[in-house]
Amino acid sequence: MDDFLFSDEPHDVAEPQEVGRWKVIIVDDEPEVHAVTKLALSDFEFQKKKLEFISAYSGEEAKKVIVEHADAAIVLLDVVMESDDAGLQVARFIRETAKNNHIRIILRTGQPGQAPERQVIVNYDINDYKSKTELTAQKLFTVVMSSLRSYRDILAIEQSRQGLEKIICASRDIFAAHSIEHFIQGVLQQLTSLLGTVDEAMYATSLVASNATTTQNSQLVVFTGRGEFEKSEGKPISEVLTEEQLNACQEALKQKGIVYKDNYLFAYCSSEYNHSSMLFVSGIPEFLTETQKHLIEIFAQNVQLAYENVQLQAEIEDTQQELVYRLSEALEQRSTETGNHVKRVSHICYALAKGYGLSNRECDLIRIAAPLHDVGKVGIPDAILNKPAKLDDGEWNVMKTHTDKGFQILKDSRREIVNAGAIIARDHHEKWDGSGYPKGKKGEEIHVFGRIVALADVYDALRHNRCYKPAWEISEVQAEISNQSGKHFDPKLVSIFNSIVDELEKILELYPDH
């Protein structure tokens, strides 16, 4: 079948059924050209995929088709149609207006002199130029095959570029995480982005150290999950995975790597500081490309490094929190107040800060630093600190110095938690109307951390027994705090307090006095 396709062409050619997945757009104002092209390429196959033909009979129609089928691989483009340069205008539209740099443009002309080859090649971003008289069936086959290979390679490069971009973004996001919960959510989201589709996901962790025997997969428990695993937190993976999935998990644990199955994968993650962990994702594409697998492997390596980073960050913050608690509890033991006061105030402040709209980092900061609010009491004599009767003016003036003493102890630190503690120690006895101490600040002159701790401290003190008073009922406390809106307390905080008071009462139940 090496006859010329476009000389002495038959006029009545049966059009075969269009099948396949490589889209080829034929642009020509002669219907016979469409028919003969489809016939010549009817049995064409590349990478087990056939061709799908889309026809356009004018330059204007071609522009619409190009936009509608942006995923087309090839356009066989006639030059002369409704005008002498209609095809050239379409070529320019494809590259400059549609911004489609992937599709391969094969220019075909029956009048080579009308659009000289050298001029067209120089001035237009086309990929091949053929005279219809020289384009035999074999040459058409060859040019389509070479164009599809180029299109395939361009897509592979583009996918690699996009994948690398996703890897960079994903790594940035997971390394920026400051808590295990946020880290895991970020990993699941970014892995979903890399794979394109995910039905379910689960992150399981074990109390077994990373250098322990990894075959004890029964000790892995679900930490968090999506889809079916959303309500499986705390359950052993043996209760939520099938036998086949458990075997795959065992394999990944032994290999300390990634195991791919038909529609799911297991990725091993570990930290020398804490747990061995496993990421499970189902609903992935049936056939992952080598590029996708390579990207997942790079991502998994970054996940491990990020996991180490987050674990270490969590360990540092947990250590700081414990030291703050222990220091504050040691100070509280000098008075008749119990150590759980500082824990309650810490969690109450966090809840109020969330309601106030502070950032996650600010909420964590006030939660950790709030127990330092009374650190200045270390300089107050026991006789004043534990006096059951009302303090006289002289004693009260001494007691008020604990705010400045606390500030002096904590100020000028390079650590944000200690600096936050200094601010809280200084401002937590200031009042919204300016009647507080030590500086008589008003309204928003008082740091928001100080305003939050002021309300939390008073709320907790009123709800518990003290050497100078019995505990108040919650209704009495709410009435008093509401009455102090705009006087002692920030009105916005009072409103938030009243809206979440049930949540705050649960905190008191979790940390009762000894």
How do residues 432-464 score in pLDDT, each as one tens digit?
A: 999 999 999 999 999 999 999 999 999 999 998
Amino acid residing at 375: V
The pLDDT of residue 130: 84
Q: Is the peptide bond preceding residue 438 cis, with omega within 30 degrees of 0?
A: yes
Is the pLDDT reported for residue 371 higher than 80?
Answer: yes
How high is the mean pLDDT of the chain? 81
Tokens of 374: 């009374």
Is the pLDDT reported for residue 16 higher than 50?
Answer: no
The CATH number, out of the four listed (1.10.12.10, 3.40.50.720, 3.40.50.2300, 3.40.30.10), of the domain defined by the range 22-156: 3.40.50.2300
Cα–Cα distance, 227 to 54 (Å, whole number):
40
Nearest Cα to Cα of residue 34 among 67, 69, 64, 78: 78
| Among 63, 130, 343, 377, the one annotated catalytic | 377
In order of 26, 48, 134, 472, the CA distances from 428 in angstroms are 76, 73, 89, 21
The pLDDT of residue 220: 86
For 43, other C-beta atoms within 10 Å of its C-beta total 10
For CATH 1.10.3210.10, the residue range(s) in the chain are: 333-510
pLDDT tens-digit profile of 308-337? 676 677 777 777 777 777 777 666 666 555
pLDDT tens-digit profile of 333-367? 665 555 588 889 999 999 999 999 999 889 999 99
Domain 176-308 grouped into CATH 3.20.10.10: no
333-510: CATH superfamily: Hypothetical protein af1432 (1.10.3210.10)
Q: Is the pTM of this model over 0.75?
A: no
pLDDT tens-digit profile of 105-142? 998 887 765 666 677 777 888 888 888 777 788 889 99
For CATH 3.30.450.40, the residue range(s) in the chain are: 176-308
For CATH 3.40.50.2300, the residue range(s) in the chain are: 22-156
Rounded mean pLDDT, 477-499: 97
Is the pLDDT reported for residue 210 higher than 60?
Answer: no
Rounded mean pLDDT, 266-275: 66
Amino acid residing at 490: D
Nearest Cα to Cα of residue 437 among 428, 424, 445: 428
Active site residue 377: yes
Interstrand relation of 22-27 and 49-56 (parallel, antiparallel or unpaired): parallel
The pLDDT of residue 459: 97
The pLDDT of residue 58: 94
Q: Return the minimum-mean-pLDDT range out of 206-220, 309-323, 410-424.
A: 206-220
